[in-house]
Amino acid sequence: APEKCYVVESGVDSSLFKEPSTEEKVNFRKVLNVSESDYLISNLSFVVERKNTLLLVESLLFLPDNYKLLLLDEGNKAYLLKIKTFITEHGLTNRVIFEQPVSHLEVNKLYMASDMMVLPSSYEGFPKVVLEALSCGLKVLGSGFDFGVKVSGYYTINNLNATSLSKLILEVNKNNVIVDSAYVKEHFSWDNRARKINDIYEKILS
């Protein structure tokens, strides 16, 4: 019965995923060979077709040359090969960085090195990567799920095509809206999620 079902969405370790200092951001970018003049877009999800990673790569064709993309080198092998072939054929080798998957304790550095996170999925559950990116102070463009609340710094992708996506990326980059990382930490931190689970247990046992 619906009244017996409870949903507790993903949470984020707000002590680990936080806004970097200027020095930290510069140092993390150096490791990736990303200059201060580069605009780094990240997508730190497994590379699978429903996440439309190829569409995100294609959007680079309509963005200035200093826009670069950070991807994880993990996912569907056939789809990864298709993406890497597209990158080579369109001269994007120097604009796409493939990073090997890292542990939960290290992935925050990849967010902290980035300027924006883009997740143009056809469908999602409730992606933790969005919370992690917002918690690190990144503007986030996403699709394929309903956030449920309005959070400053999160933007919905309405058109899944490369030209529209590139226009939205440019528009959001120029937008001076401040990312509400404090809201994410308050409502989606691990402590908050733990309290919600505790409340459910108390309700069931009362």
Over the Cα atoms of the chain, what is R_g? 18
Residue 27 has pLDDT above 90, yes or no: yes
In order, the DSSP letters of 13-28 are -TTTS-PPPHHHHHHH
**Res. 15: pLDDT tops 90:** no
pLDDT of 191 > 80? The answer is no
Average per-residue pLDDT in the chain? 91
pLDDT in tens, 124-168: 988 999 999 999 999 999 999 988 888 999 999 999 999 999 999
**Position 67 confidence tier, pLDDT thresholds 50, 70, 90:** very high
Strands (E), the chain: 39-43, 67-72, 96-99, 116-120, 139-143, 154-156
pLDDT band at 196 (very low <50, low <70, confident <90, very high): low
Residue type, 162: A
Q: What pLDDT does 189 receive?
A: 74
Backbone angles phi, psi at 153, to 5 degrees: 110, -15
pLDDT interval class at 193 (50, 70, 90) = low
Residues 41-62: tens digit of each pLDDT: 999 999 999 999 999 999 999 9
Q: How far is CA 70 from the centre of its chain?
A: 10
Model pLDDT for residues 168-187, shown as the tens digit of each residue? 999 999 998 899 999 888 88
